[in-house]
Chains A and B, each alone.
Chain A
Amino acid sequence: MATGLYPQTKVLSKNFDVPNAHTLAVARPRGAYQSLEKALRTLTPAQVTEEVKKSRLRGRGGAGFPTGMKWSFVAKNTGKPTYLVMNADESEPGAFKDRYLMERDPHLVLEGALVSAYAIEASTVYIYVRGEYPHSIRRLEGAIEEARKAGLVGKDILGTKFSCEVYVHPGAGAYICGEETGLLESLEGKRGHPRIKPPFPAVEGAFRCPTIINNVETLAHVPWIVAHGGEAFAKQGLPPDPANPRSNGSTGTKLMGVSGQVRTPGLWEFEPGITLRELVYGYGGGPLPGRKIKAVIPGGISMPVLLDGELDVKMGFDELVKVGSGLGTGTAIVMDDTCDMVEACVNIAHFFGHESCGQCTPCREGCHWMEKVFRRVAEGDGQASDLDLLEALFKGIEGRTICFLADAAVWPVRSIVRKFRGEFLAKMTPAPTPAGA
């Protein structure tokens, strides 16, 4: 771009290009575990939570829930242990940000987990890593071993009274285990069926004990917040919308990625405020030679698509909701003019049908029905009434299930059906004329 690219702010990604940053020998001189030391020696758990609240840090797993508020829900004085579970089941298609963190800076991830465990007074952390990330699992386990030898994990960390064990728990291939209660079931050695809430995990989570579940990127922000204070974090990025008292803004920095049909897919870190267009055209390199960008899903696969004309929106939680989509994981998927949008719907609906856990009928049956209808339209067997049928299906699925998988299954395909109606109609057989006409 002529005016220069939106600047990157490397906080989480500061060690991504440093050789051997996954080892303690390289990471510690670069600042790893200083925040842990500061928190353990100078702050109380409540003070750490207070800083995180002030920072307005929002969950980076897709939902954007304020992290400090989540922590304050932990049931106290229950006589049971409290658990911290790090959600590293990054199963959202299009998302690969947590893999970068775990592979390239596992000590930052670990430090984030330990400081957060101190804040919620947990003595055990489980890091639930998806089974498809064997390299991340090895890196994390290596980091935990190194940290244990250095007195940073285990009993009496850094000579203080705080003890905390960290374990890696491997998943085995199930999208639904990224849903926090599905993850808990999986952690307990069961099928990953999401639970009915309430009770929320902060009251009754893993092993029926109070549990906090946070995304990898969320917890990786905590060391910086402890080092520089919550207010400094809140000054970065986008402030809350003053007109909306419930707005929390998009503070701090955010890992953002681009994949799909662009020249240079990749991952970068910005203060929210970069527009989706700058991300896709500037950092993503724009469309492949001779092609045009047709649609972009801003975060993962589960959000509604935006057209090329709608890309001048800032990458922030509230900003994207205003244009009818969502930040999600902040990793965009780009489709260009060679992409058949009906086939894309087949692909997306197949994914959700395959990954539905099967508990709730609207999702278990509905996702496959959607796929069947999309497939028949794609194969030229569709009828004009299929668009109404699809709308009826969307209505029957969305909001009628235990967890959000069903909603996530509807949002992208519904937005495609509505925004690319012409492509669907062009493939449809004209309605049969009445006999004798």
Chain B
Amino acid sequence: MTPPAIPPPPPGSDPRPREARDANQPAARGTRGGGYADAPGAPVGVAPAAAAPAAKPAAAPAPASPTDASLRKTPAPTVTPPVPVPFPPDDLKAACEALIARYPQRVAALLPILHLAQQRFDGWISPEVEAGVARYLGVSDPHVRGVVTFYTMFNTKPVGRHHVQVCRTLSCWLRGAGDLTRRLEQKTGLRPGETDNDRRFTVSEVECLGLCEVAPALFVNEEAHVNVTPEGLDKLLDGLK
């Protein structure tokens, strides 16, 4: 059920990817280059946008509004499709087959399988893992990409060993979730969505965790901490190495 491979371009045709050929397409728009290139452990399949030779606005003063000509001179970053990881790895094979057997359609197992994949591959779902899962379930890469980006619990960037997720929704907010987030930012130097360089922490603000009666609440990875005070948060963070 693998989708048909993209045929190689006929000889003599423009070898650049489609995005690069379209003069009206702004550079790095609708490509994965911008989203991943600066992330630590950026996937190998994506050439960093900075490698493009003309991405140097310092060489000439940037025009106030780019004309068609200046757009044409800016080559888009080269994007090659991600190389799918072999999926499922041997240790997940039995679990994945059992999940698929639960549903009348193979693709229905996508969410539980993505949960497994995220656990197995370092806490996030890279384009390579997406492509691997897509091949395995017989759906397109964009289908899996669409699902991964729709659900907040799937990480599209590498995360730290301790993913601190503070609930910001009403019941927690009324009981001081804002103070927790501020303290967390001070302690870690990270703003929501960021990961530190040694990948100790990722800090996120999330919507309702369903722990409203014991607010304010936060998750560290999958572990719930409830009735958290700023002092309690300090202690908790110090204990996470």
Contact = CB atoms under 8 A, between A and B. Distances in A.
Interface residues of B, number: 42
B136 interface: no
A188 B108 CA distance: 4
Given A172-B111, A188-B105, A265-B213, A333 B174 contact: yes
A333 B171 CA distance: 7
A261 interface: yes
Given A131-B115, A175-B207, A189 B152 contact: no
A96 B170 CA distance: 13
A351 B207 contact: yes
Interface residues of A, number: 54
B207 A355 contact: yes
B152 A259 contact: no
Given A94-B170, A96-B213, A265-B213, A189 B110 contact: yes
A273 interface: no
Interface in B144-175: 146-147, 150-154, 168-171, 173-175
A207 interface: yes
A90 B207 CA distance: 12
A167 B92 CA distance: 19
A109 to B, nearest CB: 16
A251 interface: no
Interface in B85-130: 102-105, 107-112, 114-115
A356 B109 CA distance: 24
Given A130-B210, A207-B104, A259-B171, A172 B215 contact: no
Contact of B212 (A167, A331, A348): A331
Interface of A: 81, 90-96, 99, 130-135, 165, 167, 169-175, 186-192, 207, 257-261, 265-267, 301, 331, 333-335, 339, 344, 347-348, 350-351, 354-355, 357
26 contacts: A93-B169, A93-B171, A95-B210, A96-B212, A96-B213, A131-B151, A170-B111, A170-B115, A172-B114, A172-B154, A186-B111, A189-B110, A189-B137, A189-B139, A190-B147, A259-B212, A259-B213, A259-B215, A261-B175, A331-B212, A333-B174, A347-B169, A347-B173, A348-B170, A351-B169, A355-B207
